[in-house]
Chain A
Amino acid sequence: MPAILVPTEKWAGKVREVTLGGDSRKKVVVGGETTLPFLHFDGVIPHAPAIAIDVEDVAPQNWSPVLGAVWGDVMREGLAAWARKAVEAGADMVALTLRSADPDMGNTGPAEAVEAVKKVLAAVDVPLIVYGPGIAAKDNEVLVAVSDAFAGKRLALGLCEDKNYRTIVATCMANGHIVIANSPIDINLAKQLNILITDMDMPGDRILMDPTTGALGYGLEYTYSVMERLRVAALLGDSMTAMPMILNPGREGWRFKEAKTRDGVPTQWGDLEGRGIAWETTTAIAQLQAGADILVMRHPKAVGLVKRAIASLMATNY
């Protein structure tokens, strides 16, 4: 019998471990791998990638009808019900977007933001990710208030970009939270932002990096390769690319026509519900293969499918 000896890669680097939550709440640890995704014969993967589910503080206006069909009732019942249902659907964490702070969606302020976070923290005991509305000035205003009000809860706060990183990093440092560093699909920009953040003395194990999601068919090939390159750089020993990666296949995967439109599309696109779910899961599986440590998702069936895939990818007894 020919002897086949598989060459192994001994990487010098290691992805940093980041702990979310804790205190009196559940905690989730991500990162720590010394190998490319799920290659158990090369190194160790101490923690499975975690799944967060998106909730918003006002019922979203233009989500896909497929998402409306599963979340519609709890969206109307309110944030606490929505967060509880997310955990029932299998979320390891909840990702709350403070949408109402958007000037077009109500322009609410710090008080309302703190109130929303309080509701979610009371309703569920999993770790919490909090996103601002995505407008730098408003993000700063509401995230600083949330950070102060919930010191020590080890929330993950974002997005922290090159425009506004100082404010968000400073408040996360002061209050023991984690920053989500977002850069636009570029390995050097991602690294640069991590350097800027650590230069402020933020400990490296309190940074998650978000290299930006391009959904399936909408830039996935770019984000996929940037993630792969970031992870290879980390394993080669570059500590400034070694932060665990967080991606949003839910938000991006459900944004486009393929996941939203039932009528007036080619019949070859098939049934909308199945297509939308597949758009989210296909985006997610590519990101897992490229090194995602946290996936923020939306559809409960997509979450179920991806969780089963992760379980298989983490197993070593086949």
Chain B
Amino acid sequence: MPHTLGVFCDWLAQTPFSGVLQTTQWVVPALQTVHILAIGAVLASTLMIALRMLGVLGNQQPVGTLWFMRVIGGALTILLLTGSLLISAEPRRSLGSPAFQLKMVLLVCVCTLLILYRGRLLRAAHAPASVSNGSSKALVFTSLLLWMGIIVAGRWIAYASGQ
């Protein structure tokens, strides 16, 4: 672990706030539960957008893609909040973990993708499935894979934790 990161982790771990999180036993599993439920919302919403593009959900009554984009946004906020609290509870274990660092790289990738192509996704999702082009579909499936990669990397923090 780089020296400055180590210093930051030790400082964070010694704050009274982190102390409360460390000594209250139910906090970490409870935060992890909310974290998993929120990623479930993200994954299912992304899947819905993908199914809509493939025309599986039918074209007559478009399922509100905008609503699913909002769910992803809301769930992402919950993920960042619970994630930050989990980091505060165990700074060295999380920030120092290669799995965590990989997870952050994947997260930046998927967020960049969603922000850059938000408009295109919405347009493609509102058009009939036959119209939505290959690149939009590739976009949704790439984000689906990235989210799954994020889940896997997240689970591996427990097995490749920082010292």
The yes or no verdict on A and B being binding partners is no
Hey, which bits of chain A sit against chain B, CB under 8 A? Answer: none
